[in-house]
Amino acid sequence: MFFQIPVVKKYTLESANSLKNSFSSFITSWKVIYEEYIDQKDTLQKVLEENKFLKDEIQKFAVRYATCKDLKYFRYINFPNLVFTQVISYAKLPDFTEVYINYDKPFKTPRGLVYNNMAAGIVVKNYSNYSLALLNSNEKTSYTVYIGKDKIPGIFYGKINTIKYIPKFKPIKVGDLVITSGLDGVFYKGAKVGVVTEVIEKKLYQEAKVKLFYNDLNPEFFYVVQTPLEKIQKSKK
């Protein structure tokens, strides 16, 4: 009865419509705000992901830059069958004479390790995507060499830095240059090893102490000599 009074009825309907419109407007506004929030959330997530990606790329670049800085001392050698490699880590501390390098090619016979045309050691074993290298200071390192201008042959042994089995009556002297001979298929001919510092007379052979050109225990980069000996042996079969 009361709400049937014309004035009251009109006021009630207007109030209901106003409330309905206000609620509808509220719902619309809330929906817009929510959609904007979702959009901003998605945008923020994308920005965070891009930021992480850029940080990772900057970190990678920093590592590469630090690596390249050390390369300024590393010289390019214009010689065939050389592969550039980088040291991964020491093989077994506290032994600093064995290192792992990122040389991933399989091989059967030892391969020479070269730094700036200096004999640095030998590569002895491949483990699929990396290999084990022995530096000159390792007792298991050995390779054939030439001594002096007359290219007198001998075999260099690591750790003791001694050339053994030098022909007895071949003249060698202190100060003679020692280079790799390449005859064992480990190195190419001519990589510098060191200079003779002492000559020791034996019954059947001579021996010579050598001051090495390369004796670094903090290696970074090398060339690995792709051994031609295996190819030669295959071609003879």
Does the structure show a pLDDT above 60 at 70? no
Mean pLDDT of 128-137: 94
State which of 14-18, 182-186, 223-227 shows the largest mean pLDDT. Answer: 182-186
Mean pLDDT of 103-109: 90
Domain topology for 82-236: Thrombin, subunit H (2.40.10)
Mean pLDDT along residues 52-56: 59
pLDDT over 80 at 28, yes or no: no
Q: How confident is the model at residue 82 (pLDDT cuts 50, 70, 90)?
A: confident
Work out the mean pLDDT of the chain and round it to a whole number: 77
Q: Rounded to whole angstroms, what are the CA distances from 165 to 45, 120, 122?
A: 71, 21, 20
pLDDT of residue 43: 63
CA 114, CA 213: separation in Å to the nearest integer?
11
Span 186-208, average pLDDT = 93
Among 77-81, 84-88, 185-189, 200-204, the range scoring the smallest mean pLDDT is 77-81
Query: Can you tell me the mean pLDDT for 103-111?
Result: 91
- Report the alpha-carbon distance of residue 136 to residue 119 in Å, rounded: 8
Dihedral sign for Cα 185, 189, 193, 194, please.
Answer: positive
